[in-house]
A = this chain, B = another copy of it.
Amino acid sequence: MSVKERKRGRPGRSQGQLTSDLIVSTARSLMQKNGKVPSIRQVSGALGVDAMAIYHYFSNKSALLEALTVSLIDDIYEPTVDGNWQVELERLCKSYLALLQTYPGLLETLLTMDTFGPAQRFSERLALALTPLRLSEATFTDAQDLIVDYMHGVALAMQCNPDNLSSDCIDGALGLVCKALEVSR
């Protein structure tokens, strides 16, 4: 039952090399399984590799988490401009929430990241969902800010209190926002 002693140094071309994608996807599944950000040692353990090997591909842990985030962020729902905008908005929001719930730790990385691209992803899709409304520029920005930060607040609450909250808890507040937007239209 020995744990397969590993040989030092660069491995031969036979035994598959590590890749950053492999590392990211391993980290992703650990994150999903354990409901929290895995340690570097956990990731490397799951890969059957020394912890420091990770650092050949990522300069530090947060670089890995950022890559993870980038790889996931496009999964959120892309609303269509033609449909019922309220339905599309709800779909978008619930999909975002589901993503943030499935991968706890994503939220913090998303907001902390130096590169804003991923954080803006949801804002962009939100803009899409709101275009049918033809809001004034100011109202549009306010609505975007309100919904984005509201969603992050909900996501954080669900993350801190996993048992007590379901993703349907946004229905009421979102409905209120919709009413507001219909009036401001």
Taking chain A's interface residues, is the majority helix, strand, or loop, or is none over half, making it mixed?
A: helix
Q: A138-B172, A142-B176, A172-B142 are in contact. Are A157 and B161 (CB under 8 A)?
A: no
Complex Cα gap A111–B162 (Å): 11
Q: Is A175 in the interface zone, CB < 8 Å from B?
A: yes
Tell me, rounded to whole Å, the shortest Cβ–Cβ distance linking A158 to chain B: 10
Question: What interface size band does chain A fall in?
Answer: 20 to 34
Q: Which of A2-10, A17-25, A146-154 contacts B (4 or more CB under 8 A)?
A: A146-154
Q: Which of A28-36, A40-48, A73-81, A177-185 contacts B (4 or more CB under 8 A)?
A: A177-185
| Residues of chain A having any CB pair with chain B under 8 Å | 107-108, 111-112, 138-139, 141-143, 145-146, 148-154, 156-157, 160-161, 169, 172-173, 175-177, 179-180, 183-184
